[in-house]
Chains A and B, each alone.
Chain A
């Protein structure tokens, strides 16, 4: 019998719109989680597919020694594609000329991701390469054509082999951004490697195995392989590792998406919580009547649990359908816009969404439902009775636990969930206290105001307790909205800074000291935007505080690897590009010590991550060897470098007097728009030894990826806004019901509708404005923490939001209050009284 009743109640209440907010809240939480999870899943998969091009593979195993054939065979058995890439430095000879080059020997299949581009002549239009250099052939970077004065068809000698130069290498996906430390590339076929005779024990070679394939197969292989790797010999990489601007942008975007989604989930859950409370309160009378008519507690429990389950299932079903529809539309849009194929979504999103709906509906209604079932039948005679409040702590525990659980379910990260939760809980307590203070203060301020204002103030004051709780949800909603808005703005601005329209698209290396002034002048004449010229002195770091660093891999080391290395610091294993300057370069920030200015004493400034890896700090003495001359200098500052900036960046910067007497070549970067590309030849004609590196292709790809991410972020933002508005709506509805009785009395006493609606509107306006102000404060604090701790961005102050927050709060909450109360006031008094009787 009870299930019939339950179903009947649900049917009628749904039809009459009494469950709209509760249903909407659950639908929203499911929709938001599902579309976010599906969309971010697919976008991330799509993005990593694109970004994999920067590695030329999905994963790369980099090793100092040849990699066991078994490891490759295993990967192939897992269904992965593999290719080999061996990279080493060597001298290349062409007639009388010689140059240091990076030789890259690659096997069939390379690159597994992305494409090689080649041209028939230096700086000519390039195209996608078909296949790889045939045995006996070499494809050579444009810079080397200048350096070795090569023509297509010439022969270069590398080790014991000779290669015919057949093509100009214009783009390699895995060229990376460390152009300043690399010599021009020569690409040869892997089958030619042994014949060069350059791969000897002890020679400095990087053996790379490239892998590509399905994520699941990659994960399985990764699980099998990584325990066998030796940190000193092997390096396992995916695109998220490393310092490329893309990796950082992606990491930030991922963190943002995760964080914003989490906030969206919390907002949606809050909406469910507010709605659940209201759902139960509405049914107080119903339960009292049921009990009076002889219903047993168990019957009532069954009726309402089933009612809630039916409502929840219905809402979840709608939410899943809606979420699927939304994300498929957005994916469609993105795919069409960017001409990419986003892979199919995983099942995890569906589980997560259904779980979220179920968990929040059940957990947030747990206490209100307990209270509902405990409503005494006597309420039919005494409307004030609302049952016992003893178990209120249970409500806080259940709600808090639910939010924490949802955070964890969604992020799968204990630390992040705990941090967000603890921060949120603290913020909630502070918001409650501050809210109450504000209400008290505004009461005094409002005493002189007109009658509608006075009524509003009196109302605020009287309901201070309830209001401060309402304000908590208003503030939370507004704060999360502002937070996501501001973060999005910061991220986009950061990317914009990183890739401005006039970002350098060419790097310039090998500028002779004598040519520096002439080149600068030429740039100025031709109106080319160029960065500073940086002097480069190649040198090795040989010791720290008098203790030599391990630099070369000796034969003995190969035999007993670990012990020797753990004792000593590992060096760079190559020559570093050292530079000197009087001023701190842009995009560098001193995090310890001080910049020297014009101090003449020898000293060096070191990049922070290198300092950490080498375990050195301020005051440590570093020994360098430059062309046989050995000297040592103290570290006087540590710099954080934005590697994403497309400008020359350095691990080691010296003060001028230390390095200026060493012979140096200069490097720089400049921007030349696409349409002026034809001027390049003319521009550098007087400087034949200068080498150029074209970055356009890489930058285009970077821009495209960032654009995709921006769209994704916009999508998240919209969802968060909808969630926020729903919370506000649910809260306004709930709080209006509390005001109903008072409104009816005032109306009965003859208060004009206009006065009442104004008083209610003002009350909500004030509530909204205060909430907005508190929200801005909380947003600013959270943003500071997020910017500095999570996103590695500089902290900024957002004065605009201090205006936007309170005004938006006042307007939105005010309008919602006005609309909701309008409906109440339009009823005639008799109807109202009957409702309350």
Chain B
């Protein structure tokens, strides 16, 4: 299994006592799978995503990525895991405003010490159709274009896993549709494992597996095989 959790929980202390954001969760995702996590706002989807990606630490239980337990790693080592194996796409794009499109895409590869970062970034940007926008800053790009830059950035390190948090949440329907297509096309071409948080059920349906999060409890949605 590429991603595996055992009895994963997340609690936070509030003034009104302990809040169980994520109840004991066991989850296995195999390499190459595409998985959607759906659920209402505040149900704990994003928390699960942050735990799977090693952005946050679990209260109990474990996450393993590629058979490495994240709870055994310190923050630096978890960053290394992200650098080597994980790509991200966020609802709000999270591009660095003072870097150009090309530089934003190069960034993860550069951080990982890849000498051919620029070459890869150029290729990816032309794959997402932005070969003419290399030197534009994020605020000079439309929302759809920004998300395409983000997608290019997510793939530049040839990650094993791609985490996407509401990738079309900030886009209009037409643009959202195009971004979806692009994302799935590129994912398929590279054989990357995709874990996507969304509350767009249509989008979720394009994944092989759909998991539903409800008040911190994760259940697998069984679909008609037909």
How far does the alpha carbon of A285 sit from the alpha carbon of B93 in the complex, in Å?
12
A294 and B83 contact, CB distance less than 8 A: yes
18 more A-B residue pairs beyond the given contacts A290-B107, A294-B83, A381-B90, with a C-beta to C-beta distance below 8 A: A1-B111, A5-B107, A9-B99, A12-B100, A18-B98, A285-B94, A286-B96, A293-B83, A293-B153, A294-B86, A295-B83, A296-B79, A378-B56, A381-B46, A381-B49, A834-B143, A834-B170, A837-B91
Q: Are B112 and A294 in contact (CB under 8 A)?
A: yes
The dominant DSSP class at the A interface is helix
B154 CB to nearest A CB, Å: 9
Q: Is the CB of B46 within 8 A of A12?
A: no
Write out the residue numbers on chain B whose beta carbons fall within 8 Å of the beta carbon of A298: 76
Instruction: Give the residue name and chain of the A residue nearest to B159 (CB).
Output: A294
Tell me, rounded to whole Å, the shortest Cβ–Cβ distance linking A717 to chain B: 37
Query: What residues of chain A lie closer than 8 Å to B75, measured between beta carbons?
Result: 297
Closest residue to A298 on the B side, CB-wise? B76
Q: Could you show 19 A-B contacts with beta carbons less than 8 Å apart? A: A9-B99, A12-B137, A289-B96, A291-B79, A292-B82, A293-B107, A293-B108, A293-B111, A293-B153, A294-B84, A294-B157, A295-B79, A297-B79, A298-B76, A299-B111, A377-B55, A378-B56, A381-B46, A381-B165
- Least CB distance from B20 to A in Å reads 18
**How far does the alpha carbon of A377 sit from the alpha carbon of B56 in the complex, in Å?**
8
Q: How many residues on B have C-beta within 8 angstroms of the other chain's C-beta atoms?
A: 38
Kindly state the separation between the CA atoms of A289 and B104 in the bound complex, as whole angstroms.
Answer: 11
Q: Which of A7-22 contact B (CB under 8 A)?
A: 8-9, 12-13, 16, 18
Bound Cα distance A285, B90 (Å): 13
With an 8 A cutoff between CB atoms, is A4 at the interface? yes
Contacts of A693 in B (CB 8 A): none
- Rounded to whole angstroms, the CA-CA distance of A297 and B103 in the bound complex is 20
Q: Are the CB atoms of B79 and A294 closer together than 8 Å?
A: yes
Q: By the criterion CB–CB under 8 Å, are A837 and B170 in contact?
A: yes
Q: Quick one: CB contact mask for B38-56 with A, threshold 8 Å, 1 for yes?
A: 0000000010011001011
Tell me the chain A residues, 248-304 only, with Cβ under 8 Å from chain B: 285-286, 289-299
Contact of A380 with B by CB under 8 A: yes
For the complex, what is the distance from the CA of A252 to the CA of B166, rounded to whole Å? 69
CA distance A131 to B94 in the complex (A): 84
Contacting residues, chain B, for A378 (C-beta < 8 A): 50, 55-56
Provide the bound-state CA to CA distance between A5 and B110, in Å. 8
State which of B46, B55, B84, B103 has its C-beta within 8 Å of the C-beta of A292.
B55
B residues neighboring A (CB under 8 Å) = 46, 49-50, 53, 55-56, 75-76, 79-84, 86, 88, 90-92, 94-96, 98-100, 103, 107-108, 110-113, 137, 143, 153, 157, 165, 170
User: What are the 4 tightest A-B residue pairs by CB atom distance, in nearest-first order?
Assistant: A294-B83, A837-B92, A294-B82, A293-B108
Which residues on B sit within 8 Å (CB–CB) of A1?
110-111, 113
- Chain B residues in 8 Å Cβ range of A291: 79
A294 touches B80 (CB 8 A): yes
- Chain B nearest CB, measured from A21 CB (Å): 15
Q: CB-defined interface of A712-754 with B at 8 Å, one 1/0 digit per residue? A: 0000000000000000000000000000000000000000000
Q: Which residues of A contact B110 (CB under 8 A)?
A: 1, 4-5
CB-nearest residue of chain A relative to B154? A293
Kindly state the separation between the CA atoms of A272 and B40 in the bound complex, as whole angstroms: 46
Roughly how many angstroms separate A377 CA and B53 CA in the complex, as a whole number?
A: 10
In the complex, chain A residues whose CB is within 8 Å of the CB of B95: 289
In the complex, what residues of A have CB within 8 A of residue B112's CB?
294
The CA of A296 and the CA of B92, in the complex, are separated in Å by 23
Instruction: Give bound CA distance, A217 to B162, whole Å.
Output: 75
Closest to A383 in B: B92
C-alpha gap A293/B86 in the complex (Å): 8
Give chain A nearest CB distance to B113 CB in angstroms: 6
- Cα-based distance from A646 to B112 in the complex (angstroms): 80
Q: Which residue of B lies closest to A19 (CB)?
A: B98
Interface centre among B94, B99, B165, by most chain A C-beta atoms within 10 angstroms, is B94
Q: Which residue of B lies closest to A374 (CB)?
A: B75
Provide the residues of chain A in CB contact with B55, threshold 8 Å: 292, 376-378, 380-381
Query: A291 vs B137: C-alpha distance in the bound complex, in angstroms?
Result: 21
Tell me the smallest distance from the CB of A307 to a CB of chain B, in Å: 11
* CB-defined contacts of A380 to chain B, threshold 8 Å: 55, 88, 90, 94
CB distance from A763 to the nearest CB of B (A): 27
- Shortest distance in angstroms between A174's beta carbon and chain B's nearest beta carbon? 66
User: What is the CA–CA distance of A289 and B88 in the complex, to the nearest angstrom?
Assistant: 10
The contact string, 1 if C-beta is below 8 Å from chain B, for chain A 463-484, is 0000000000000000000000
In the bound assembly, the distance between CA atoms of A605 and B118 in angstroms comes to 90
Shortest beta-carbon distance from B111 to chain A in Å: 5
The answer to whether A9 and B92 touch (CB under 8 A), given A294-B79, A377-B79, A378-B55, is no
